[in-house]
Amino acid sequence: MNDSWRTKSPAPERLTVGGVLPDFSWVATATAATTMVGLIQNLLIARWLGPGGYGVLALLNAYTSFVYLLLDARAWESVTRYLPECRTRECKNDALSLVGFCFLVEVSCAVVAFAILAATAMGGGARVIGQPSGSSLLMLCAISSLMSAGEGTLRAILRVLGRFQEQAVIDITVGVTRLALVVIVLATGHEVTGVLVACLVAALLSSVSRAVQVHSALVCEFGSPLRFRFRRTGVRYLNISSLMLITSLTATLKAASDHLGEILLGYFRGPIEVGVYRMGKILLRALALVGGPAYETLYPKLVAAAGRGCVDIAGDVRRVSWSLLIIGGAISIILCLLAPLVIPVLTGSGFESSVEVLRIVVWGDLLFLCFVWAHPLIVALDRASIANIAWLLAATLWIVGSWAAVPAGGYLASSALYVISRVAVIVVYGIGLGRAFHVQGSNFWLRFIRSSSMLDLWLQRLGTIKRALYH
């Protein structure tokens, strides 16, 4: 049923710099603020608890995140994909049914994940975490994650409805509140348990604040709050379910690659080495300050450009890659040079080996930063299955490599596997993009570099200089 709730159809919006810049500014500000607050929080925890306590928290976070992402349906992507379509068709019932359906799916997945974590905590939490109090700590961490159930969908609703300012305020407020609570519990001597309680309170504050904003936004936009009636609507639940299945599989494989390495490192070498390894990776969040906004900006542009032809897209991404290489390379070199001086001062004793971790994994993150456009371009070209193949290969390399090398090599072996898995993902992306561009996969990256617009620019400048010298 097509029920219009507007008095007249909205005028078509044009994508201009002036129109995008305010929203981008709020997103960039929130990203920078929350990243810095999170970095300060991690450094304080590491300094207070040392590698052992910090490693226990890292293991708890890795295991909990792995289970939740394993079952995450990524319903928020369906909201991002189909809610704008419902707004364009002015279908109030369809829009409300869509967000209600996606919210219920996400909450249901979170409840199942919590049940698995609770069973794990009661059955062998101490063995999983490697601590006598592992059961109670794992239960606290599971409850904290349950408090965030449905938040992905709520975030997506606010993004689609253009509530970037409200979202940024919530993110910054929650981040600062969490940092203040962590400082209080550490100062009063509550250590790991206190940190988990502080994170639980912050997660509850985030979910409640976002739910209030979503309620207000839906009432303002559609004249009705969130609803859960799904009959007699035009929502294509089969298409939504298919999208959830594909994106969920990609997220599961990526979670296996990202978190399984830390879990296996803790299994073979203990929480202290996990703490050292995690601290080396935490300091690389400076690259995320560039990669995050670049990803969010490039995604819609690449989807829109997919219809113009591969030549235009190739020219765009070549320029982006070289620009990100210059910026990311400078940041990476600075981090590698300053790490021996900064890490001992900020974290205290016990984390000196994190310098070695940083100097290895930085190359994996720099590679991903340069080709941050690869995944959005694959989706734009309707080749999303390539991402599943890439991350399946990465997860396989992590598992096989961890069993073979981590027992003897420890955190250095995990760092090397991190880089190898990233290289494997980019190679598979190159093969898939090579087929999309009608280029042999093995030659795609070579031709990409040779045909770079930056190299063309330097050759043009060289020719101009030669002509000036001869004449």
Segment 296-311 mean pLDDT: 55
pLDDT of residue 60: 86
Domain residue extents for the chain: 18-235, 256-471
Is the pLDDT score of 183 beyond 90?
yes
227 Rama class: left (phi>0) / alpha (psi -120 to 50) / beta: beta
Backbone angles phi, psi at 199, to 5 degrees: -65, -35
CA-based nearest residue to 424, from 403, 407, 406, 399: 399
Contacts of 159 by beta carbon, 8 Å cutoff, 6+ apart: 80, 167
Segment 144-170 mean pLDDT: 83
Is the pLDDT score of 397 beyond 50?
yes
Distance between CA atoms of residues 85 and 76, nearest Å: 15
Say if pTM beats, i.e. exceeds, 0.75: no
Strand blocks (E) in 228-331: none
Mean pLDDT of the chain: 76
Segment 139-163 mean pLDDT: 84
Distance between CA atoms of residues 82 and 88, nearest Å: 10
Among 82-91, 182-191, 201-210, the least confident range: 82-91
Segment 222-244 mean pLDDT: 63
Confidence of residue 205 (pLDDT cuts 50, 70, 90): very high
pLDDT of residue 442: 46
pLDDT of residue 5: 42
pLDDT of residue 4: 42
pLDDT of residue 181: 93
pLDDT of residue 182: 92
Distance between CA atoms of residues 142 and 196, nearest Å: 10
Segment 138-150 mean pLDDT: 86
